[in-house]
Amino acid sequence: MNFSLWHKDNAQAVVAEARDLIRKRLPQASRRRFLARGLTLGGLCMLSGCGIDDDATAETALMRISRINDWVQGRLFDPSLLAPTYPDSMIARPFPFNAYYGEDQVPRIDAGGFRLEVSGLVARRHPWSLDELRALPRYTQVTRHICVEGWSAIGKWGGPRLGDFLRAVGADLDARYVGVHCGDDYYTSIDMATALHPQTLIALDWDDRPLPPKYGFPMKLRIPTKLGYKNPKHVQAIFVSNTFNRGYWEDQGYNWFGGS
């Protein structure tokens, strides 16, 4: 999380509320140790090293801290603040590839037969072809992708805004979450505020060409306000929901909000 960028003015109030949540939700022993370290926004983001070493409770305690962390990030998220953008000269070529499998196993999805499925709290459920997606207003952005594995790279993505798409399908914009399923069994979900953020794109292009297979053909969600694992490639289905779902890496312990 970059606190100098995202909403510093209500940071104190958020820390106070988070302290209250920790009192209510964490088991006694871990709570004492966690609070003893001094509660700062930075501290809330550091899930390791919080001094909880009893194996049985550590998992639950860390998961609860992670959910409080999600809540803090949600509170600090200001939809009017934009992630930094860069000149074309800074684009990384070639751009790094990453997935939970090797590059030789990238799914090959047929463009003609592709239909993006839409479900959940939406008025219109008809599946969308690539041509229909391309008919929405197109935006291009040069932004930095940050992977928790220790690398970052600047890339250029183009396509419609997820917010425009959600409005076009008559999504309930007061719903809490937007979830996605991908062609390679990857999945994730995001908060509605991020889904409606003006820089959250249904990326159909990379570097002004149709998204190559390794970067997520036929479409990925490009969310420059979130870490790499919250940028799903090969998206096949989008659903709007009030039920909390995590994601492929989030189910293995990565923080759900995943702000960058």
Ligand X SMILES: Nc1nc2c(c(=O)[nH]1)N[C@H]1C(S)=C(S)[C@@H](COP(=O)(O)O)O[C@H]1N2
Residues lying near ligand X in the complex (CB under 6 A) are found at 95-100, 147, 182, 184, 186, 214-215, 228-229, 231-234
**Shortest distance in whole angstroms from residue 58 CB to ligand X:** 24
Q: Which residues contact 117 (CB under 8 A, 6 or more apart)?
A: 127, 236, 237, 238
Alpha-carbon span 205 to 115, nearest angstrom: 17
**Shortest distance in whole angstroms from residue 98 CB to Mo ion:** 5
Alpha-carbon span 188 to 208, nearest angstrom: 26
229 binds Mo ion (CB under 5 A): yes
Nearer to Mo ion, 165 or 229 (CB): 229
Identify the bridge partners of residue 229 per DSSP, sorted by sequence position: none
**Shortest distance in whole angstroms from residue 221 CB to Mo ion:** 14
Q: Are 145 and 86 in contact (CB under 8 A)?
A: no
Q: Which range binds Mo ion by CB under 5 A, 40-48, 154-162, 185-193, 228-236?
A: 228-236
Q: Which residues contact 201 (CB under 8 A, 6 or more apart)?
A: 139, 141, 157, 158, 159, 160, 161, 162, 221, 222, 223
What DSSP state is assigned to residue 184?
T
**Shortest distance in whole angstroms from residue 119 CB to ligand X:** 18
147 binds Mo ion (CB under 5 A): yes
Q: Which range binds Mo ion by CB under 5 A, 37-45, 70-78, 145-153, 252-260?
A: 145-153
Q: Which of Mo ion, ligand X, none is residue 250 near (CB under 5 to 8 Å by kind)?
A: none
Nearer to Mo ion, 177 or 229 (CB): 229
Helix boundaries (H) for 129-258: 130-134, 162-168, 192-195
Nearer to ligand X, 79 or 96 (CB): 96
Q: What sign for the dihedral angle of Cα 242, 19, 196, 112?
A: negative
Query: Contact positions toward Mo ion, by CB under 5 A?
Result: 147, 228-229
